[in-house]
Structure 1
């Protein structure tokens, strides 16, 4: 039934909807727009997921907050005739009703007449839907949000700061900036060869006698680096897809079924068995002839199970829906609670090893929420990863999808701290024992890239890259991230202008010439070693921002001071931090520990603050 206006309906029995009730199960588009104009007769801000046909159907679940008698829902049409499913019941046990949704800029009424706590809309094709209004009666009070329990301790800054790297990067270049090292590791490197058997020491890749991963991980651990390999792609000869970025399942398999990911989960068992902390029976090892038959080497504590699984530029074969990713992760975590057998999933090899969720291409909390919803139904609420993992590049584009007129944003212009804190807050309420990482962020230094750091005033593009990376790490620390690995250690091609070609802290492979950013991160990591983020300190000067860090052991403190602008601003700033020994560490090109100078022992000090953070160490 098509109605002329919302005012025709009775307002007394409306169940008011808010964005926190809405879950975009497909994580495509902004479904909060469905409920942002609840009082409008003619809403104007539509939820339009995408024109991409293969990403349909798109599902949106609405949790009403308590049991309700739902009489009807009203949908505002802006598309014309498209069928929509309206479902009641509960997640993964829906009762669907297909309605012939139609009309243009009109309200369309759908009778429901059900007792339910949940509603679900399913869009079967590109549809513009500005608003949904629900009518009925609450049968119970709205449940209060979960209280925040005891928060997990923050990492020290030398643990937090890290980078992305490869096995052929020099250890001496990685270690000073690599508290956490996200190691790019295509699955094919481990099974390269006609037999498809597993090889680590040496790997079958790079000619079969060049890369020795036991040695590599041992050297990084000795250098004080925590390594998290990201093992992804669907390699030959195990799979035969046009793109290695395809999901690692057999053609025609159900991508939402954990059992479809057996091969991947079994490889993760082998990885965890070898490099985790617990020895396993030799008969459980699956290795090529000639490989050292060892386990429990104690070299790794983390393993990541894909790179940007939510990317849509690889088509349906390479795009994981939230429920696809939940299924992959459940298999990789513990063999889907043991259903895949003894030799699948990292927990079956080493219960202490942590699974890192494949780093998400965008900051989409609904994707994480949908995985939790899946886990509630299929794993008794046990989230199938130990680490939530995010990627984000600060720019006018918002997320990955850059255009010629895109420009890079500083972390403060982008509200990076606030964006990341959304995920930490969700974790604190819903999965308090999990970690949250950001494992890709950064800027190119070639001006031809749409995400290049610009020269500002007297600062070169390379200096601005360094300053903004340091400020990004400060934002991550204040947002309670557990790790922050910038992208990446080396340039792909230092002369190229493409996106990501010059994101490195050093120049391209074989040269590894250190940029100012390498020195800035090395010096910051050294200055704040053994300290955790404590608080933001009011500066009483809108041009100056101050963060305090406290030592885990002892009474030492440190302060980071900077101007959060992008105009090469410099401020002479008086700062009261109490009496005692103190020194200032300035970040400078060519100085891996920074440039240190003593400050007066009296309470009030005056320092020059600029857009490159400076650090004051007390005690």
Structure 2
């Protein structure tokens, strides 16, 4: 692939720093300046945490952008060397995703301003293509060098590039993976004291664990019978933008919104009937809308969920100002449903009955799986999602005006991170970097929660696209090491945002045996019962992973449980007619779990090996009460009878899961010498103990 120097200057839509900013920067730099920089030397302080790929490929491709700096120990002046840098920073797949719109960009943060003299690169390219090097800031890049790689193994070798600039940030842009530079050694000296590198592990305080009655939620649409929603503290309601921004004409700013996509006007009560009202006021739980797709006028032109919801087709998706229409819609929803009343004359509503400050919603998720690779060239890189989010949050720090972004409508509302398709902490790290470098206030935009999605299947690969392509069935959460994977992701997330909740926004099983995420069958149980057992086992493991909430996928099926479609039979309810619902065993199992452990929090993993696994919960309201979650972690019919469980205490009760029984089967147990004897199987049991 040969792209030469076409489009040499990328049209980054970031505002250049003004003179006052530059002057203040110079003054601050002078106050913190170390010894004079008289000579240039190899910069050896770059760590993996200092390197960011703006395309967002690191986690998905398992290729680190740090590969551009990881072989810094080589000496380019060694004429007798027999070994040379080999690790490429480029992904081997997804080229149409990560190199579109000008190429892949890698930014290194030197952590303090440096006076650079030169960069020595190792060219290991097999074909010739373009490389560009910039200094400056994320808002104002300056092109310092541009060249084409040799493209011939006979020409492999070191290339010296003169830079001669003072900067904290350096960006490398590669037109294609053919521009294979396997090492970049920078020379210079710091102009200020470097802060220490990020610690390897987070050792600070952690968020308080949630009681089980506030831990669980469910993914849903409107229209589910409210009586079945009680166990689920949060409802994540899928909401198509085209049901709100219904204008079929591209006529911005002269548009109006349908402000009740999940409700209708009741002439009898002279008020709206809203599904969100039923969740919050009738059940006493919470709700948020996950806004999906594009406005109706874009759908009419053939655009779909993975397209960017810019105000006009062709706008730069990396410019926050391109999302004015979307940000105004988000302001409108926060003005209507949030805690703060605004002048309803400012609300652009098709409906004559406008309202504000309804106080039923303070979380707004501006997308779903925006990192998805299956959208092909519609893939949304982290810079584009940041641009949309800073507009949706507060109108790009107020630059759009007072009626853009949720914070300008309701200061108590927050954005929820659009769920990632995997535990992609690398992408989260890039998003945090963008907040730090592209916002004056450096605010992290998604304080409503950091959300990941995940499913347990036998597929192979690093990304859901590869996994689902190769998968043939689901596997148990224990076979998948679900808790360990989630604990790792939670710990890495704590390093970045220790005060923001971490949410598993999707995880579930299909009942259908032909699904790629089919619930593993447990001997003695049918497919719907097995789905329920897998979900309860997963709930326990997720609770002990350190995650703050789990939103089950999914609430209800509209098809038979043998339907072969992916995610078609994940429901815990079956809708068989007009508002006719039948709960699957999973609903009864989950309700039993929440009913008995509603006030409990995870306390300790007692045993997570061998034939019997044991987890201990503590009642937060009545601390003298504990609960043990006991089961065999297999799916081969394993049973351990007369198992001795050390509990202590003065009384004990066994709770077994049973279809059609909302509270399960409750059996008193006899404590003898601080122990109880129970029969353990692959269906979990709760042992409730009064310790005093």
- Which of 303, 314, 322 is the matching residue for 1:260? 322
Shift in Å at residue 154 of structure 1? 2.2
Structure 1: gaps (5+ residues):
1-11
Matched, 1:281 2:343: yes
1:354 aligns with 2:414: yes
- Structure 2 residue aligned with 1:150: 205
Alignment correspondent of 1:179: 233
CA distance in 1, matches of 2:399, 2:381: 22
Match of 1:4 in 2: none
Higher gyration radius (CA): 2
CA spacing shift, 1:289–1:538, aligned 2, 3 Å: closer
Q: Distance in 2 between matches of 1:66 and 1:193?
A: 49
Q: What is residue 312 of structure 1 aligned with on the other side? A: 373
Which of 158, 173, 177 is the equivalent residue of 1:109? 158
Shift of 1:488: 0.7
CA distance in 1 between partners of 2:616 and 2:117 (Å) = 51
Please name the residue that 1:517 is paired with: 586
Decide whether the 8 Å contact of 1:189 with 1:204 is kept in 2: no
- Name the CA shift for 1:509/1:311 in 2 (closer, same or farther; >3 Å): farther
Q: Which of 451, 457, 460 does residue 523 from structure 2 map onto?
A: 457
Q: 1:486 maps to what in 2?
A: 552
Alignment CA distance shift 1:578-1:341 (3 Å): same
- 1:166 to partner: Cα distance: 1.1
Shift in Å, 1:435? 1.8
Relative to structure 1, is the Cα distance of residues 443 and 135 closer, same or farther in structure 2, using a 3 angstrom cutoff? same
2:175 to 99, 112, 124: 124
Deviations 1:126-160 (A, max 9, x none): 44859536365775667142564432222221211
Deviation at 1:537, TM superposition (A): 2.3
Q: Does 1:590 align with 2:590?
A: no
Q: Structure 1 residues 598, 305: CA separation in 2 closer, same or farther (over 3 Å shift)?
A: same
C-alpha distance in structure 2 between counterparts of 1:563 and 1:553, whole Å: 29
Aligned position for 2:611: 543
Change (3 A) 1:516 1:128: farther
Find the counterpart in structure 1 of residue 222 from structure 2: 167
2:76 aligned with 1:25: no
Per the alignment, do residues 462 and 119 of structure 1 end up closer, same or farther by CA in structure 2, a change over 3 Å counting? farther
Q: Out of 364, 379, 400, which is 2:464 matched to?
A: 400
User: Counterpart in 2 of 1:444?
Assistant: 510
Q: How many residues align?
A: 601
Q: Higher mean Cα deviation, 57-66 or 359-368?
A: 57-66
Residue equivalent to 1:363: 423
Question: How far apart are the structure 2 equivalents of 1:594 and 1:564?
Answer: 20
Compute the displacement of 1:290 (Å): 2.8
1:604-615 equivalences under 5 Å are 604-615=675-686
Q: 1:7 maps to what in 2?
A: none
**Structure 2, unpaired ranges of 5+:** 1-40, 74-82, 250-254
State the partner residue of 1:3.
none
User: Residues of 1 paired with 2:297 and 2:65: CA distance?
Assistant: 45
Relative to structure 1, the CA distance from residue 14 to residue 334 in structure 2 (aligned partners, 3 Å threshold; closer, same or farther) is closer
Aligned-partner SS, 1:31: coil
**Could you list the per-position Cα deviations for residues 167-194 of structure 1 after superposition, in whole angstroms to 9, with x for gaps in the alignment?**
1221122223x22111111122234476
Please report the TM-score for the alignment, with normalisation by the length of structure 1.
0.87
Residues 588 and 289 of structure 1, relative CA distance in 2, 3 Å threshold = closer
Contact kept in structure 1, 2:43 and 2:189, CA below 8 Å:
no
| Partners of 1:23 and 1:31 within 8 A in 2 | no
Query: What do the CA deviations read for 1:70-123 (whole angstroms, capped 9, x no partner)?
Result: 854444636433323344555444444333233449854242465665544333
* CA distance in 1: counterparts of 2:157 and 2:348, whole angstroms: 59
Q: Is the 8 A contact 1:34 1:132 kept in 2?
A: no
Q: Secondary structure at the match of 1:403?
A: helix
How far is the alpha carbon of 1:517 from its aligned partner?
A: 1.7
Per-residue deviation, 1:545: 2.9
Q: Work out the CA distance in 2 between the residues paired with 1:492 and 1:110.
A: 62
Preserved CA contact (<8 Å) 1:48 1:128: no
For 1:389 and 1:363, how far apart are their aligned partners in 2?
9
Match of 2:540 among 474, 481, 499: 474
Residue 487 of structure 1 and its aligned partner are, at CA, apart by: 1.2
In structure 2, what is the Cα distance between the partners aligned to 1:542 and 1:309? 40
Counterparts of 1:119 and 1:465, CA distance in 2? 51
CA contact (8 A) 2:425 2:493 kept: no
Q: 1:434 aligns with which of 500, 503, 518?
A: 500
**Cα separation, partners in 2 of 1:426 and 1:615, compared to 1, 3 Å:** same
Deviations 1:272-330 (A, max 9, x none): 12211221122222222432x3211111122211122122333444x321111111111
The match for 1:498 is: 565
Secondary structure of residue in 2 paired with 1:15: coil
The whole-number CA distance in structure 2 between the counterparts of 1:452 and 1:128 is 43
Question: 1:264 Cα shift?
Answer: 1.4
The answer to whether the 8 Å contact 2:51/2:65 transfers is: no
SS at match of 1:175: coil
The offset of 1:371, in angstroms, is 1.3
1:274 to 1:599, Cα distance in 2 relative to 1, 3 A: same
Q: Separation in 1 of the partners of 2:65 and 2:383? A: 22
User: Deviation string for 1:251-273 (max 9, x for gaps)?
Assistant: 12111122211111111112112
1:334 aligns with 2:394: yes
For 1:507, what is the secondary structure of its paired residue? strand
Contact persistence 1:14–1:133 (CA under 8 A): no
Q: CA RMSD in A?
A: 3.3
Contact 2:422 2:464 in 1 (8 A): yes
